[in-house]
Amino acid sequence: MSKQETMTTAENVEPLVYDPQYILMVRNLKKYFPIKGGFFNREIGAVKAVDGVTFNLKRGTTMGLVGESGCGKTTTGRTILRLSSDKTAGDVLFNGQEVYDLSHEELRHLRTKMQIIFQDPFSSLSPRLPIAEIIGEAVREHNLVPKSELDDYVDEIMDQCGLQPFQKERYPHEFSGGQRQRICIARALALNPEFVVCDEPVSALDVSIQAQIINLLRELQEQRKLTYLFISHDLSVVEHISDTVGVMYLGNLVEYGEKKDIFANPLHPYTQALFSAIPIPDPDAKMNRIVLEGSIPSPADPPAGCKFHTRCSRCMECCKHVAPKQKEIEPGHFVVCHLYDDENEQA
């Protein structure tokens, strides 16, 4: 991997150079939410939900983003899509364009190219609209097809997502959880996007339905050359669908690389602990479970140095005071940990 592709957690004032092989380039992305208090309701602190995330996502591939609840996965996806008010710092380049520099009209056009599938299909669908209107509303608003062809277009999208045309006039409450998630997928794909953020799209579904939705997403990716950012806490699902994997902890990307490298050789102690919890379908197999002590620190008051040092069994003195930098241990495999500093390379 070239130096241009190398990621860093340090502040970098040089402009981010666009590389056409990447549909999305994110560098040092930060999103803080203010904490207000006192008599005058002034800002007294900030929740550092995303605190310096950097990665590049190749066209037509899937990046899995994993980590414990509250680590900032969903906020990362929403900030990339500019669904939040504004980023705190960093760069988000989509097809070479800085998403946060776009005008209202430019952003409106970009909305058709970037879509999201939400975690809870029921709460993300309007209970007052039939699914034909839910799927076709944005298509009509953006004038993607002539008005006379809208009906047939909605039928085609529904068919691709495993829904039947006779269901068009039904409302969301008349469908099962798996069918509602198919409606959400159809709504996102109706705009013919290039990039889709899948925010835990199968976590609320039964295992058998999860497999159907995952297979559907893969089929649609092949047909439409889609690029996914797949947010999940289920490592078995991530292993099945992803090409690259990023591991988040308390707002930071602690490890990033190709799926085969991450699963075969997890480097960061947090990644190792996560992977040790994956169930093995063999009653005779022995699991070397790594149990993390304590709980995740508050993102409003993260610990100094390495944020993971309060729970790490391999913590060194430097971990408590100095934030580690990202290192490329093998081609395309990055880790943020003092264990891999030059002087501790054999640790």
pLDDT of residue 344: 43
pLDDT of residue 133: 96
CA–CA separation, 47 vs 54, rounded Å? 19
pLDDT of residue 294: 76
Report, as an integer, the average pLDDT of 23-40.
92
Q: Is the pLDDT of residue 1 over 50?
A: no
pLDDT of residue 243: 96
pLDDT of residue 343: 47
Q: Is the pLDDT of residue 4 over 80?
A: no
pLDDT digits (tens, 9 = 90+) for 186-239: 999 999 999 999 999 988 788 888 888 899 999 999 999 999 999 998 888 899
77: confidence class by pLDDT, cuts 50, 70, 90:
very high
11: confidence class by pLDDT, cuts 50, 70, 90:
very low
Cβ atoms 254, 268 nearer than 8 A: yes
Cβ atoms 269, 312 nearer than 8 A: yes
CA–CA separation, 190 vs 182, rounded Å? 12
Cβ atoms 154, 138 nearer than 8 A: no
CA atoms within 13 A on the CB side of 275: 18
290: confidence class by pLDDT, cuts 50, 70, 90:
confident
In the sheet with 42-58, reading across from the earlier edge strand, the strands are 42-58, 22-37, 89-94, 97-98
Q: What is the pTM of this model?
A: 0.88
Q: Which residue has the tokens 């709460």?
A: 123
The DSSP secondary-structure symbol of 292 reads P
DSSP SS3 for 157: helix
277: confidence class by pLDDT, cuts 50, 70, 90:
confident
**Better-scored residue on pLDDT, 283 or 108:** 108
284: confidence class by pLDDT, cuts 50, 70, 90:
low
Q: Is the pLDDT of residue 28 over 90?
A: yes
CA atoms within 13 A on the CB side of 318: 10
Cβ atoms 254, 265 nearer than 8 A: no
Other CB atoms within a 10 A radius of the CB of residue 275 amount to 16
Name the CA dihedral angle for 267, 268, 270, 276, rounded to a multiple of 10 degrees: 10
What is the percent of the chain with per-residue pLDDT over 70, rounded to a whole number? 92
Report, as an integer, the average pLDDT of 333-342.
91
C-alpha distances (whole Å) from 24 to each of 14, 93, 101, 310 are 18, 6, 15, 33
Cβ atoms 130, 168 nearer than 8 A: yes
Name the CA dihedral angle for 299, 305, 307, 313, rounded to a multiple of 10 degrees: -150
286: confidence class by pLDDT, cuts 50, 70, 90:
low
Q: What phi and psi values does residue 328 have, to the nearest 5 degrees?
A: -95, 100
Cβ atoms 267, 333 nearer than 8 A: yes
Report, as an integer, the average pLDDT of 288-311.
87
